[in-house]
């Protein structure tokens, strides 16, 4: 079994690489991929860069070139559910693309023909995550994560996404990874640590909490690997 572990930014994978052994790096498609081992588990680790296109490219290469059989995504997100606070961990039960709009042709937001609005995460990986959270005695929330190629700072847009998709958190990669994994029949799991409130003060919060939130999210992924091992 080979596990792919992704982040969007280098800060999101640095805590993971610190735990790995036998790390080898490969330059491919203007990015760096790291093959490594953790307690007998083969992994491939990479940060995609920000946005849906780069996330899709990275996930596809991890699966097709590096032969990953499961994919775990660790990173940060902005909250649009008022119950989520900075530092909270949320797992995606399902994901959608809030910036996908062909409503002019009579389709709902987030939908393309032969596609679907929501892509559901792997239930076994979600169950594993719940078991890890229980053992670590931490609260792990779940919900809908909305993805788009914008950093949302407008409260009105935030509320529109919340109402339209019943979403709980915002980020810029997860749904793209989900679409790739769903198409290639690879189980996937998206974990996000809340780093900001996705409002007009989001830039300040993001800069302040990025590293600590990334580490908390990465530590949880490591605990999932521990349980797999």
pLDDT at 199: 52
pLDDT in tens, 32-69: 999 999 999 999 999 999 999 999 999 999 999 999 99
Query: Would you list the domain boundaries of the chain?
Result: 2-228
Residue of 120, 196, 199, 207 marked active site:
196
Sign for the pseudo-dihedral over CA of 154, 155, 156, 158? positive
pTM, rounded to two decimals: 0.92
**What contacts 190, CB < 8 A, 6 or more positions away?**
73, 91, 92, 95, 121, 145, 174, 177, 178
For 184, counting Cβ atoms within 10 Å of its Cβ (0-12 exposed, 13-18 middle, 19+ buried), the class is middle
Indicate if 12 belongs to the active site.
yes
Q: Round to whole Å and give the CA distance between 113 and 203.
A: 36
Residue of 12, 173, 182, 205 marked active site:
12
Q: What is the largest CA-CA distance in the chain?
A: 52
Helix, strand, coil shares of the chain as percentages rounded to 5? 40, 30, 30
Which tokens go with 46?
A: 């990479």
Query: Which ranges constitute the DSSP H helices of 1-147?
Result: 10-17, 52-64, 123-136
Q: Enumerate the β-bridge partners of residue 2.
A: 42
Place of tokens 């810029």: 172
Q: Round to whole Å and give the CA distance between 153 and 198.
A: 5
In this structure, are residues 68 and 116 in contact, taking their beta carbons and an 8 Å threshold? no
pLDDT at 200: 44
List, run by run, the mean pLDDT of 10-residue segments along the chain (229 residues): 93 90 94 96 96 97 98 92 89 97 95 94 97 94 96 90 97 97 97 73 60 83 93
Q: What is the CATH number of domain 2-228?
A: 3.40.50.1580
């Amino acid at each position: 079994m080979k596990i792919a572990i992704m982040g969007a930014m280098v800060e999101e994978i640095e805590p993971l690489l610190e735990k790995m052994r036998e790390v080898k790096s490969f330059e491919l498609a203007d990015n760096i991929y790291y093959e490594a081992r953790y307690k007998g588990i083969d992994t491939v680790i990479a940060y995609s860069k920000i946005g849906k296109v780069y996330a899709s490219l990275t996930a596809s290469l991890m699966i097709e070139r590096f032969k990953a059989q499961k994919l775990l995504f660790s990173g940060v997100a902005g909250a649009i559910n008022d119950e989520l606070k900075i530092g909270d961990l949320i797992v995606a039960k399902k994901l959608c693309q809030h910036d996908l709009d062909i409503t002019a042709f009579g389709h709902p937001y987030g939908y393309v023909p032969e596609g679907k609005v929501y892509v559901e995460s792997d239930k076994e990986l979600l169950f594993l995550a719940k078991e890890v959270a229980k053992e670590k005695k931490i609260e792990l929330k779940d919900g809908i994560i909305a993805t788009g190629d914008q950093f949302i700072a407008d409260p009105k847009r935030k509320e529109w996404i919340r109402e339209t998709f019943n979403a709980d958190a915002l980020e810029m990669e997860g749904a793209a990874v989900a679409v790739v994994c769903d198409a290639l029949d690879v189980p996937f799991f998206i974990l996000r640590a809340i780093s900001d409130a996705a409002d007009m003060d989001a830039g300040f919060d993001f800069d302040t909490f990025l590293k600590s939130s990334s580490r908390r999210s990465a530590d949880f992924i490591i605990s999932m690997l521990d349980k797999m091992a």
